Every structure is written in C-alpha cells, then in structure tokens.
Amino acid sequence: MIVHIHPDNPDERNVGKVVDCLRKGGIVVYPTDTVYGIGCDITNQKAVEKILLLKDINARKTNLSFICYDMSHISDFVKPLDNAIFKLMKKNLPGPFTFILEANNNVPKIFKANKKTVGIRVPNNKIIREIVHQLGNPVLSTSVKQDDDDDDEYIRDPELIEEKLGHIADIVIDGGLGGYEGSTVVDCTKGDYEITRQGAGELIE
C-alpha cells in the first residue's frame, strides 16, 4: 500500500497511519535524504529479523543502523560522547551521515550481537524524522537496494519500489523521488573519527 506524505509538510493523519503500522510490527519503506530505506520499530525483534532475512544481512557481521529524531534521542542509545565527536555530529546532523558509536544497554541485543557499536542516522528528511518522533522509538535503517540488483533505477521511485517490495512492506511512503547514493559512514569509536565510506554527505569539521 502506498501512502503519500508531503516532504515539506508531513500531514498528521498519514504519519499517524505509518506510526500505527510500525507499532503493530509492520515493515515500512520510507524516504530519507539519501536513498529510500526499509525498516521497522527497532524494539520489535520479529520485524527486525524479517528485514535481515529479506536483505540477507548477518547481524553478527554487519553494523546495523537506525534512525533517531535528534541529538537528544541519540543520547538515549549510546555511551557518553566525547566533546569533539558531539560537536562534529551537531554540525552535520540532520544530514546524510551514519555515525558509528558505542552502544549502551538500551540498544536491542540483535543490533549489538558480537559487537558493542551501532550506526546512528538523523536524516535531513521531515517525513521519517516525524515518524520516529511520534513513534517514540528509532526505526531500523537499511537501503531498499538489494546487493544483487542489476537495475537499481527502481530505488528512487516509490511506485516502482512498491511493485518490487509491496509483497513484503506493509506501507511504502511516497515522499517524492529519492537519491542513488547512500550516506557517508563515520566511525567514531576509536577516539578520533574516520570516514569508512564516502557517500552523499561531505563532512563539515
């Protein structure tokens, strides 16, 4: 099912429909400031496992990421941030970045597995941030693109995404055309920071 939500002025009724779906363990395709993502409420383990199976992701080998609403929300899920890292993140968020940080005990175990780190996103996209804000929990962040896709044109277009993933996703949000490039990944777990994948975002120091 496609739900249309205006990217600049997300309407409360449709946002509420998506939030209700997530609370019931639903899977949702949503826009970000980079590529469209597919996710669920991170506290619903069955929904998380379903997406990992769909994407062929091994939680023990991959840094899983989720979307928070703002810096205050991030602090609920990570260990206290170094001053310099906090300032770096504040300069660049909301934005097209995934920050790898040390997870605290509020992060569900499936996200940590054999690791103690987690990827955090605060996209510059009002739709997904408002959904997260109303839900009260972060949303799992993973791209709709499959690794074996030869033709990735569909990843920008919600209607094409619905054709491909509608049998898996309970809701596909149409928030306009998305991008092709993923976020820039910044590892902040080693004292300083290191860009481990250059994506759509140019980090401001």
Q: Would you list the DSSP string of 101-114? A: EEB-TTS-HHHHTT
Whole-number Cα distances in Å, 141 to 84, 97, 189: 25, 12, 19
Each residue of 57-84: pLDDT tens digit? Answer: 887 778 889 999 999 999 999 999 999 9
The mean per-residue pLDDT over the stretch 37-56 comes to 93
What does the alpha-carbon distance between residue 48 and residue 146 come to, in Å, rounded to a whole number? Answer: 16
Q: Is the pTM of this model over 0.85?
A: yes
Secondary structure element (H or E) that encloses residue 126, with its range:
helix 126-135
User: Which residue from 71, 68, 70, 28 is spatially nearest to 50, judged by alpha carbons?
Assistant: 28
How do strand 139-141 and strand 65-67 relate by DSSP bridges?
Answer: antiparallel
pLDDT at 191: 81
Each residue of 133-179: pLDDT tens digit? Answer: 999 999 999 998 766 555 677 888 999 999 988 899 999 999 999 98
